[in-house]
Amino acid sequence: MSRYMLVLSYKGTAFHGFQKQPDARTVQGALEEALATLAGERVETCGAGRTDAGVHAAGQVAAFDAGAGIDTGRWMKGLNALTPPDISVLEVREVRPSFDPRRDAVMREYRYFLLNRPAPSPALADICLHLPGKLDLELARQACSSLVGTHDFRAFTLAAETRGTVREISACDIGEAGAADHLLCIVVRAPSFIYRMVRVLAGAVLDVASGKTELSTLSAALAGGTGPCADPLPPEGLFLWKVEYPQERLSA
């Protein structure tokens, strides 16, 4: 047996999240079905992280074990032919037998896309949040900056987690995304996140940008608030953009 890594892109709209569940259409479920067809036997996968229902991925990473020396190019083609059109396999490569896509990841990047104009965009409806209200981009940038660094993010999760909620945000910024006018993107990078953290964090940034809350409220939440400091944004704007690994954790 050898170990293989997959880089996946998917549109989360019609999936009940990444993680396999009985009787629900999931990315992992669809992926393992395609892998089983290629391998001729059941194949278990594990992912770099779960994405919630409706959340997309541009570069999710998963790993599985299969017979040594499979033709990765052929498997990539085969997987793209066998998975539904809302999943795309960007890469298949052999990695070292101990590779763990969750534990070995040293950086995760999420991007939250939003369209800030009065009317929605039908072409982008599934893949960004429509936010008609006025936003102060400079305040949003300040809010993003204030999140960078090591903080106790207990006020940025929905679960009643109060232990192990310290995380280090390496980068956080908001700017024009390109491709269309008024399309904005919040980019946030951290070695790891807690449950729903990105959507609460993005909600908090937009609350500041829309004047709903003050920057000082955000600072207070970072100093260790109780309960989520903002409503989590809906899933449609969120992409797990990429997951990064040190070269030595990958090498077969």
Task: Please pick, from the candidates 2, 37, 72, 88, the single residue that binds a copy of itself as defined by CB under 8 A.
Answer: 88
* Environment class of 192 (CB within 10 Å of its CB; exposed 0-12, middle 13-18, buried 19+): middle
Site for a copy of itself in 35-74 (CB under 8 A): 56, 58
Least separation in angstroms between residue 134's CB and a copy of itself is: 16
Task: Please pick, from the candidates 18, 110, 112, 239, the single residue that binds a copy of itself as defined by CB under 8 A.
Answer: 239
Q: What are phi and psi of 189, to 5 degrees?
A: -125, 135
* CB of 160 or CB of 179, closer to a copy of itself: 179
Task: Confirm if 144 and 174 have CB atoms less than 8 A apart.
Answer: yes
Q: Which stretch, 41-49, 111-119, 210-218, 227-235, contacts a copy of itself (CB under 8 A)?
A: 111-119
Least separation in angstroms between residue 175's CB and a copy of itself is: 10
Residue 5-34 contact track with a copy of itself, rule CB under 8 A, x = bound = ----xxx-----------------------
Residue 1's H or E segment, with its range, is none
Residue 129 CA to residue 183 CA, distance in Å, equals 10
Least separation in angstroms between residue 62's CB and a copy of itself is: 15
Active-site option among 52, 65, 100, 231: 52
* CB of 161 or CB of 181, closer to a copy of itself: 181
Rounded to the nearest 10°, the torsion over CA 37, 18, 16, 118 is -130
The C-alpha angle with vertex 168 and arms to 165 and 171, in degrees rounded to 5, equals 135
Among 206, 202, 197, residue whose Cα is nearest residue 187? 202
225 sits near a copy of itself (criterion: CB under 8 A): no
* CB of 53 or CB of 158, closer to a copy of itself: 53
Q: What are phi and psi of 182, to 5 degrees?
A: 65, 10
Cα diameter, the chain: 58
The C-alpha angle with vertex 251 and arms to 245 and 252, in degrees rounded to 5, equals 135
DSSP 88: E
* CB of 127 or CB of 194, closer to a copy of itself: 127
Residues, the chain: 252
123 sits near a copy of itself (criterion: CB under 8 A): yes
183 sits near a copy of itself (criterion: CB under 8 A): yes
Q: Which stretch, 45-53, 82-90, 187-195, 205-213, contacts a copy of itself (CB under 8 A)?
A: 82-90
180 sits near a copy of itself (criterion: CB under 8 A): yes
Least separation in angstroms between residue 182's CB and a copy of itself is: 11
Catalytic residue list: 52
